[in-house]
Amino acid sequence: MANILTALQPSGVLHIGNYFGAIEPFVKLQDDGNTNFLFIVDYHAITVPQDPKQLRQNILFAAATYLAAGVDPNKTLLFQQSRVSAHTELAWILNCLTHMGELERMTQFKDKTRNKGESVTVGLFDYPVLMAADILLYDTNIVPVGEDQKQHVELARDIAERFNNRFGETFVIPKPHIRKEGARVMALDDPTSKMSKSAASDKNFLSLMDDEKTVEKKIKAAMTDAEGTIVNRPGRLGVSNLMTIYELVSGKTMAQIEAAFEGKGYAQFKQDLIEQINQFLQPLQQRIHDSLKDHKNLIEILEAGAQKAQAIAEKKMQQVREAIGVKLS
Ligand code: TYM
């Protein structure tokens, strides 16, 4: 028995990196008799400007997507981060244990703020501490995430250890769970950087909602190399990335894919990859659409999850308040 927890931002677009890096690994662990937490980190989302109307839609879309991906509300507490105020309360306490230098070293912060000057918010800087609070509040053992979140989970471990050393055993030390293939799906148009929804070009990523024509256009334009073979070797970034995507959507192994395309070129491989992606996406999109039709049901599921999460989180907060000396009786 373990506590499994992950969270994603409601950013409107979820791409296949998000799906294979975090959602699928979470869903696979969900069935092991574990206690499971999956939430929509709306307070992380507002570290960059959001349109309120769009944000509301994005939250519902995120919930519909997790359900469509196999998240079972009977086994998982599915909720909105903002509905459990203990997340921000604990983040404040952890802020007072976190060093500026630790946050300055976060590579994601450096990437997100390059050339942004004075407009960077304190919230964006503090984002990893809110994430540490998300994780530590629920005695989490395992955090399924993509490679890019590993450093943040390690920071959560460091903060938990510091708290426990100073105030006594309070927090479980969490471990990141990072899959071998798919933990870092690379951009289609630039396989030296990770697939990202905030990229300048939409040819960078495959959205879970892309239609057949869009998938075809993006895969046809995806970067390969001059070698022309379907062989996965270090250094062949574009081809290896496409083969990894093939592996993820089809369930076939790298060896099977190499064997199937021996002696064949990119045109045939890409055509087949387009079909595999569409076969994977279409039933998922259908389930997302079905789920989105019933807003009331989505809100009820999120609310029921929040109620349960609040009760667990409040118990932990009582322990924390007592440990740091602000609880009087
Ligand atoms: P977010 O919303 O940016 O991304 C959600 C999840 O998708 C993974 N991911 C990828 N995986 C593989 N290849 C990619 N190209 C790729 N891009 C993104 C991310 O690693 C992540 O697992 N701070 C987090 C959300 C968060 C959280 C938490 C996660 C807040 N609190 C507590 C775990 C536990 C974030 O912004 O992820």
Residue range 76-108, pLDDT digits in tens: 999 999 999 999 999 999 999 999 999 999 999
Asked if residue 241 and residue 122 are part of one domain, the reply reads: no
Please indicate whether residue 197 is annotated as part of the active site. yes
Does residue 169 carry a pLDDT above 80? Answer: yes
What is the position in ligand 1's atom list of the atom closest to the CA of 148? 20
Q: Is residue 11 part of a domain?
A: yes
Domain extent, residue 15, equals 3-177+294-324
Q: Is residue 130 part of a domain?
A: yes
pLDDT of 329 reads 79
Query: Ligand 1 centre from 117 Cα, in Å?
Result: 25
Give the domain CATH number at 220.
1.10.240.10
pLDDT of 87 reads 98
Q: Annotated catalytic residue: which of 112, 217, 252, 316?
A: 112
pLDDT of 219 reads 98
Q: How far apart are CA 261 and CA 160, in angstroms?
A: 49
Residues 261-298: tens digit of each pLDDT:
999 999 999 999 999 999 999 999 999 999 999 999 99
Query: Ligand 1 centre from 147 Cα, in Å?
Result: 8
Q: In degrees, to the nearest 5, what angle opens at C-alpha 184 toward C-alphas 6 and 197? A: 75
pLDDT of 193 reads 94
Query: 114-127: buried (b, 16+ CB within 10 Å) or exposed (e) per residue?
Result: eeeeeeeeeebbbb
Asked if residue 143 and residue 22 are part of one domain, the reply reads: yes
Asked if residue 100 and residue 19 are part of one domain, the reply reads: yes
Q: Is residue 183 part of a domain?
A: no
Name which of 104-118, 157-171, 235-249, 250-264 the model is least confident about: 104-118
Q: Annotated catalytic residue: which of 75, 150, 175, 197?
A: 197
Q: Rounded to an integer, what is the distance from CA 5 to the centroid of its chain? A: 11
Q: Which residues line ligand 1 (CB under 6 A)?
A: 5-9, 17-18, 21-22, 41, 44, 131, 134-135, 143, 145-146, 148-149, 152, 183-185, 194-195
pLDDT of 160 reads 98
Asked if residue 302 and residue 276 are part of one domain, the reply reads: no
Q: What is the mean pLDDT of residues 243-247?
A: 98
Asked if residue 305 and residue 258 are part of one domain, the reply reads: no
Q: Which of these, 206, 207, 190, 260, lies nearest to 232 by C-alpha position?
A: 260
Asked if residue 137 and residue 89 are part of one domain, the reply reads: yes
What is the position in ligand 1's atom list of the atom closest to the CA of 131? 31
pLDDT of 143 reads 98
Does residue 32 carry a pLDDT above 80? Answer: no
Residue 144 phi, psi (nearest 5): -70, 120
Asked if residue 221 and residue 82 are part of one domain, the reply reads: no
Does residue 31 carry a pLDDT above 80? Answer: no
Best mutation site among 148, 196, 245 for ligand 1, i.e. most ligand atoms within 8 A of its Cβ? 148
SS (H, E, C) the chain: CCEEEEEECCCCCCEHHHHHHHHHHHHHHHCCCCEEEEEECHHHHCCCCCCHHHHHHHHHHHHHHHHHCCCCCCCEEEEEHHHCCHHHHHHHHHHCCCCHHHHHCCHHHHHHHCCCHHHCCHHHHHHHHHHHHHHHCCCCCEEECCHHHHHHHHHHHHHHHHHHHHHCCCCCCCEEECCCCCCCCECCCCCCCECCCCCCCCCCCCECCCCHHHHHHHHHHCCCCCCCCCCCCCCCHHHHHHHHHHHHHHCCCHHHHHHHCCCCCHHHHHHHHHHHHHHHHHHHHHHHHHHHCCHHHHHHHHHHHHHHHHHHHHHHHHHHHHHHCCCCC
Q: What is the mean pLDDT of residues 19-47?
A: 95
Q: How far apart are CA 98 and CA 126, in angstroms?
A: 10
Q: Is residue 193 part of a domain?
A: no
Q: Is residue 206 part of a domain?
A: no
Q: How many domains does the chain have?
A: 2
Does residue 118 carry a pLDDT above 80? Answer: no
Asked if residue 314 and residue 269 are part of one domain, the reply reads: no
Best mutation site among 6, 20, 65, 145 for ligand 1, i.e. most ligand atoms within 8 A of its Cβ? 145
- Which amino acid, one-letter code, is at 10? P
Please indicate whether residue 194 is annotated as part of the active site. yes
Q: Is residue 189 part of a domain?
A: no
Does residue 1 carry a pLDDT above 90? Answer: no
Query: Ligand 1 centre from 281 Cα, in Å?
Result: 20
Q: How far apart are CA 202 and CA 212, in angstroms?
A: 15
Q: What is the mean pLDDT of the chain?
A: 96
Asked if residue 32 and residue 161 are part of one domain, the reply reads: yes
Query: Which residues have CB under 8 Å from 224's CB, separation 6+?
Result: 238, 239, 242, 266
Please indicate whether residue 218 is annotated as part of the active site. no
Q: Is residue 93 part of a domain?
A: yes
Asked if residue 302 and residue 283 are part of one domain, the reply reads: no
Asked if residue 166 and residue 61 are part of one domain, the reply reads: yes
- The share of the chain scoring above pLDDT 70, in percent, equals 100
Q: Is residue 197 part of a domain?
A: no
Give the domain CATH number at 13.
3.40.50.620
Tell me the chain's radius of gyration from C-alpha atoms: 21
pLDDT of 33 reads 85
pLDDT of 114 reads 85
pLDDT of 40 reads 98
Asked if residue 244 and residue 156 are part of one domain, the reply reads: no
Nearest-CA residue for atom 33 of ligand 1: 6
Q: Annotated catalytic residue: which of 194, 203, 218, 270?
A: 194
Tokens in use for 61?
Answer: 């879309």
Query: Which residues have CB under 8 Å from 49's CB, separation 6+?
Result: none
